[in-house]
């Protein structure tokens, strides 16, 4: 067998430098009272997000029944449309620097 086929294959992988979000569906936000402000600490207390990641992304799964102010690191287009369609607001929070 040629030497090149016997050697282990190694290379660069960009996965460790990517951004990893914890997903939350819009339908899961119905448990919060109408007109409230929902941020990362509220989502963690409710048990909707667990673990470590670079941020929280709100996805458009499900239906929202009332107006909320949602603070997250990222929003999908359908989630933003559903939240703002009921008169709520989507506030984008910047990620903090790793060393701070």
Question: Which tokens hold the place of 32?
Answer: 């919060």
Contact (CB, 8 A) for 54 and 20:
yes
Judge whether residue 55 has pLDDT over 60. Answer: yes
27 within some domain: yes
79 within some domain: yes
2 within some domain: no
58 within some domain: yes
User: For residue 98, what pLDDT band results from cuts at 50, 70 and 90?
Assistant: low
For 17-43, how does the pLDDT look when each residue is reduced to its tens digit (9 = 90+)? 889 999 999 999 999 999 999 999 999
Residue 36 to residue 88: CA distance in whole angstroms: 10
Q: What is the CATH number of the domain that holds 56?
A: 3.100.10.10
Question: Which tokens hold the place of 1?
Answer: 């067998």
Q: Indicate the pairing of strand 89-92 with strand 74-75.
A: unpaired
- Domain extent, residue 79, equals 20-92
């Amino acid at each position: 067998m040629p030497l090149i086929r016997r050697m282990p294959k190694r290379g660069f992988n960009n996965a460790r430098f990517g951004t990893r979000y914890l997903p939350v569906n819009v339908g899961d936000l119905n448990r919060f009272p109408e007109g409230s402000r929902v941020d990362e600490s509220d989502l963690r207390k409710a048990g909707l997000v667990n673990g470590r990641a670079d941020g929280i992304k709100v996805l458009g799964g499900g239906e929202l029944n009332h107006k909320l102010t949602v603070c997250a690191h990222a929003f999908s287009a359908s989630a933003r449309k559903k939240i703002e369609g009921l008169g709520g607001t989507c506030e984008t929070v910047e990620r903090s620097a790793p060393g701070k």
